[in-house]
Structure formats: C-alpha cells, structure tokens
A and B are shown apart, each in its own frame.
Chain A
C-alpha cells in the first residue's frame, strides 16, 4: 500500500510503485480531468501539482508521490473559481479542451510565483504545454486576465 494525498483526501493505493501517477489518478481514483497526451513528458496534458510543482504525471512513478501532496485540476479550487478557471470561462479559451487542464495547472504555478507576468514570462512558463487546436493567443489573454483578477481579488 502506498499513501498519497490527492486534493486534500488521503488514499491508500494498492498498485505497483512503478505505475505512472497518471494511471493512479485516472484509473484507480477516477479523477479523469487530468489527460493522457503523449506519455513521454512532451505535451503537458497530464500536468498536476506534486508538492506545489507542475510535474508531468505520465512519467512520474507512484513511488515518487508516496507520502506527498498532489493537486489535480479537480482540486485546484473549491468551486471552480480559481482566477484562471474564471478567466478561461470568460474568454472561451478551450476549443477541443483536451490540453486545457494541463494548461491551467501550469498557469497556476506561474501566477503563484509571478502575479503580473509579461508575455515573455507566459512564454517561459507555458511553452511546454502543447495545444493542437492552437489556442495559445487565448491562453495568453486569459492568463493576463486571471492575473488582473487575482490582483483585484487581493485588494478586496
């Protein structure tokens, strides 16, 4: 049994320690918001937060997460009201939507560390998340919007 905490909930997982964390999250815990894209850490669709870092769960083994804290897209906010989620909704960012949970999880790390990112900062943080629909311009706009919302929220 391997203990992990996912979105604040404790789980004891009976699985091979070498199983990709993505399989555990999707197939054992049933949290299917995190997507399988390439399986080679090349696309970013499987991005989750492991102890506050945007790791790629397709190449991260379960044993790396033992005793650690995981957050998936389902746990990013209590009511889908993270500034990025609100901005994503407002600007209709997704097209097919497959990569978007990974995009938002990566964007969340950027906004946590840089409350007012420039276009260059966004490029630096987001270039590892591929979108085959090419929604990059809307992703960029939504991150700027979320940053503004976050700053406004902090003032209230």
Chain B
C-alpha cells in the first residue's frame, strides 16, 4: 500500500513539474484554421491576385528598375531608378518629392514615410508574374523579404505602406476590393493550405 502511495505521489509530482515546464501556447494565428482545401485556397488567391496586379500595388513592384505611374502603369517620369536600397539614386531619391503624406491635388506626388520600391537584392516583382508565379514567390521567404506565412498576412493586412493603396490621393483608382476584404482573402488563401494556382490560371 505504501509503495502504491509513493508511486502515485511520484507520478503526480512528475506530472505537475512536466506541466509547469510546458511552453506557453504561441498565439500566432488570428485567423480560423480551416482544413486544407486547394480549390478554396486557389480561389482566394485569385482574388488576392487582382489586388496585387492593380496599379496601386504593381506600380512599385515593377519588372524593371524604374517605378511605374498612373492607372496605365507607365514608366515613372524623370528616369527614376530603384537604387540599391529601393529608395532612388543621387538627387532622385523617392523622398525628395514624395512626402510622408499625399500632397493634395490632382497629379501631385503621393506619399508615405516608407515610400520606395523593394530593394535591389529583393526585388519582389509583381509585374508580368502569372498567378502561379506570384503565389509561389510570395510564399518563398527567399523571395518575399524573409517573411513567414504569418508575417506575410501581417504585412498584407496591416503594413502602412501597403495600406496607402487604399488612400492613394486625388485622381487615383482604388484596388478592386477593400483592404479588410483583401486581408480576409489572404488569410483564407493561407488557412486553406496556401496553394498556388495551376500554370494555366490567368
């Protein structure tokens, strides 16, 4: 009987110690975990893609080293170049014209404290990417600025410069859906498995 009591005591002490050392649950998911669903995931990404390909997003994710301008995504006037840090070159630095906020008026420089392109060593090109290429690129930390999926969602949902797209100033069209709707589609895409569309998707 004594042995049994000692064993029970030992077992409960060990259990308590083990439980007390259990790491706290890391709260990373602010979204519902849905079962994997490749069709639903791809469908959500195709919505995300329409936003990323809109002028407000794509103009600063160009295929070349010059930013783009306008709803027709023409090459930025003044021969503006990316530069190593994505903030321009010499006397043509982004913040020389682009202020911390939009300058009021039609065709005046839009602004944000972080205004710029992705840096030369992480170009994060949207222009010309198919849905499949862009999805795979966004999920690859070597091509997305070293972001985990959670950080990718955070970036899309809350980054201030990304958010500028929905407050772009006079005369600029908005992306095709609201930011909360966009963020919801990003979350859904990842939550359902983060699938890339097929190569045929356009």
Binding site for B on A (CB under 8 A): 40-42, 47, 53-56, 59-61, 64, 105-107, 109-110, 113-114, 121, 123-129
The listed residue (B91, B103, B109) touching A106 by CB distance below 8 A is B91
- Per the bound structure, the CA–CA distance linking A40 and B98 in Å amounts to 11
Binding-face segment, B74-82, B115-123, B128-136: B74-82
Closest CB in chain B relative to A87 CB, distance in Å: 17
- Per the bound structure, the CA–CA distance linking A87 and B158 in Å amounts to 50
Question: Provided the pairs A53-B95, A110-B91, A128-B92 are in contact, do residues A40 and B78 lie with their beta carbons within 8 angstroms?
Answer: no
Find chain B residues with CB under 8 A from A41 CB.
96-97, 103, 108-109
The reply to whether B91 and A125 form a contact with Cβ atoms under 8 Å apart is yes
The reply to whether A128 and B91 form a contact with Cβ atoms under 8 Å apart is yes
Find chain A residues with CB under 8 A from B99 CB.
59-61, 64
Q: Which residue of B lies closest to A114 (CB)?
A: B90
- Per the bound structure, the CA–CA distance linking A130 and B60 in Å amounts to 24
Find chain B residues with CB under 8 A from A59 CB.
97, 99, 103, 108-109
Q: Is B39 an interface residue (CB 8 A)?
A: no
Main secondary structure of the interface of B (DSSP, over half): loop
Q: Which residue of B lies closest to A129 (CB)?
A: B91
Find chain A residues with CB under 8 A from B80 CB.
127-128
Q: Name 16 interchain pairs, CB-CB below 8 A, sorted by A.
A: A40-B105, A40-B107, A40-B108, A41-B96, A41-B103, A42-B77, A47-B91, A53-B95, A54-B96, A55-B96, A59-B99, A59-B109, A60-B99, A113-B90, A125-B91, A128-B92
Nearest first, the 5 A-B pairs at minimum CB distance are A127-B79, A125-B90, A106-B91, A54-B91, A128-B78
Binding site for A on B (CB under 8 A): 77-81, 89-93, 95-97, 99-100, 103, 105, 107-109
The reply to whether A124 and B103 form a contact with Cβ atoms under 8 Å apart is no
Q: Which residue of A lies closest to B80 (CB)?
A: A128
- Per the bound structure, the CA–CA distance linking A47 and B91 in Å amounts to 9
The reply to whether B95 and A125 form a contact with Cβ atoms under 8 Å apart is no
Find chain A residues with CB under 8 A from B93 CB.
53-54
The listed residue (B78, B103, B105) touching A127 by CB distance below 8 A is B78
- Per the bound structure, the CA–CA distance linking A128 and B100 in Å amounts to 20
Q: Which residue of B lies closest to A126 (CB)?
A: B91
